[in-house]
Amino acid sequence: MSQHRTPDPELQRSYTLLDQGQLGEARRLAQQCLEQAREAGDELASSRASIALGLIAAYDSRHEEAMQLLLPHVPVLEATEARKELCRAYSVLGFSLGVLGDPERGLEWASKALALAEQQQSSRELVRAQLNRAVLFNQMGDWQRAELSLRAGIEEAQGHGYGPSATAGLSNLAEIHLSQALRCRERHDDAGAARHAQDAGHWYERAIESCIIHGLDNILGEAYAKLARAQVLQSQMAGVPGLLQRAAGLSSDSPVLRAEVSLTQGMAAAESGREQDARHALEHALHIAQECHEPDLVHQILFELSHLERSYGHLQAALQRFEERHHLMMEHFKRRLRMVARSAEVWAEAEQARLAARAAIEREAELIRSQSELLARAAQLQQDAMCDGLTGLLNRRGLEAQARTLWGPGQSDSPLSLAVIDADHFKRINDDCGHATGDAVLKQLGQLLQQDIRASDVLARMGGEEFVLVLPDRTLDEAQRICERVRQRVAEGNWQQCGSHLPVSISIGLSQRQPGDDLETLLRRADQLMYAAKTAGRNCVRSSPGSETS
């Protein structure tokens, strides 16, 4: 089943609304498209609408529902040319699995999204896939690969003018370094904390610039607060109050941001030796974070409170905060285990539906499989007829077929060079080392010749030890340099690995197409020049009298 139809305009509109954050209206339109497709019995349209509903569910943080909607319909899109929706579905499946506590499996889907985006050359989906992979790597604790994915996504986003995506990537990259700085701080590695905090500060400054340009206040406030935190970790206190004041000005609708601001105020006060101010700010941050059910933030605040109490010799209070933090960590691990278990259940349910959908597709494919096999067999026979069985290169018939395109209308005036290449003293190799060694030498020779050619060049084995290399859009001088590199590589090759104790070299005759030349004329002229190279002592290139190199 290979179909390619443009999605319903209403469904395209639902995607536009999704990208604009209007989830309710996007869901209404996608549901309407699903009902119409079911009434019409249109399987592809129904799957496309279900995929859209799954994406909307994921954007609305309903990740279990997203998986249940997406997985059964992915095989339908995989069997068609509806690849744009498929790429986004792969990305969202990966992200949802990460949220549900299974980033390893999520990474498999995100990698499929990346491969498909590269194949389609879809820059927006490429950015989405790279940023999602970075989130999953981060969840797995693989900071280095997370940073590499983020850098690739940011570069792609900036290159195509996707400002908000680039800004999100910059903020996430800064977050990775700040997280590492805080981990170093927990291990009492002050030098490591300062180094990572400096990197975090660099990326937060870039994120802030991008936020201001693109009007992204939702990221800007957090970036101000965390840039201030990075400066505190470096003991650079001068700019901290101003940054926190800007962050506080953007926090009216975000209790989480207010908690972030209070946390950084507490760290700054502790760094400045103001114990009571630090304790008050940190306890205020803890209260807000607990009300918002932000366990990661609560965990960090409890560490800072424990660190504060220990710094001032209040060991009993420090121990109490440590125990609270330990209890929170245990609850986090239990919750993570429950999420992974639930993720496995949802996966199993959705996988069962997906397999049922795939079975239906396979039943339909069975009806045309015999025809496909016949077509494939015919293509293989045609390929065999065009290729040399030993080296896998084109044979003479394949060369002639490829050459037709190079002698077509409008091609005869473009430069083209042709080289006839012949292995020197090849009979001696066969006689002294055996025909199996001779075959191995020919295979390796074919591989060496391929190393210097482009996709538009044509390389063929004409029979025996003779090869032909056609170089379109190459002048004689350019072709001469290529042939000389090839000759030198062959002469310096390790032929003992083929079983030959004899050296291997090649003689090359090179000719350029002249007006009125057909392939046979050019081949004869290059062949004569190849024999001239043999006469000149072998292991050389001859293109015209006086132009020999060896």
Give the closest residue to 155 by CA, choosing from 134, 138, 139.
134
Catalytic residue among 349, 465, 466, 484: 465
Cβ within 8 Å of residue 5, ≥6 positions away? 44, 45, 82
Integer angstrom CA distances of residue 437 from 86, 424, 432: 49, 15, 9
| DSSP codes, 414-432 | S-EEEEEEEETTHHHHHHH
Cβ burial 201-210 (10 Å sphere, 16+ → b, else e): bbbbebbbeb
Separation CA 223–CA 203 (nearest Å): 9
**CA 44, CA 160: separation in Å to the nearest integer?**
31
| Contact of 490 with 505, CB cutoff 8 Å | yes
* 8 A C-beta contact, residue 73 and residue 359: no
Looking at residue 120, its amino acid is Q
Tokens 């609305």 correspond to what residue? 60
Helix (H), strand (E) counts: the chain? 22, 5
Give yes or no: 125 in active site: no
326: its two tokens: 């330990």
Please, is 457 exposed, middle or buried when counting C-beta atoms within 10 Å of its C-beta (0-12, 13-18, 19+)?
middle
Residues contacting residue 245 through CB under 8 Å, at least 6 positions apart:
none
Q: Nearest Cα to 228, choosing from 184, 264, 176?
A: 264
Written as one letter, the residue type at 6 is T
Task: Spell out the residues 6+ positions from residue 247 whose beta carbon is closer than 8 angstroms to its own.
Answer: 221, 222, 224, 225, 228, 257, 260, 261, 264
Alpha-carbon distance of 438 to 279, in angstroms, equals 82
**What residues are labeled active site?**
465
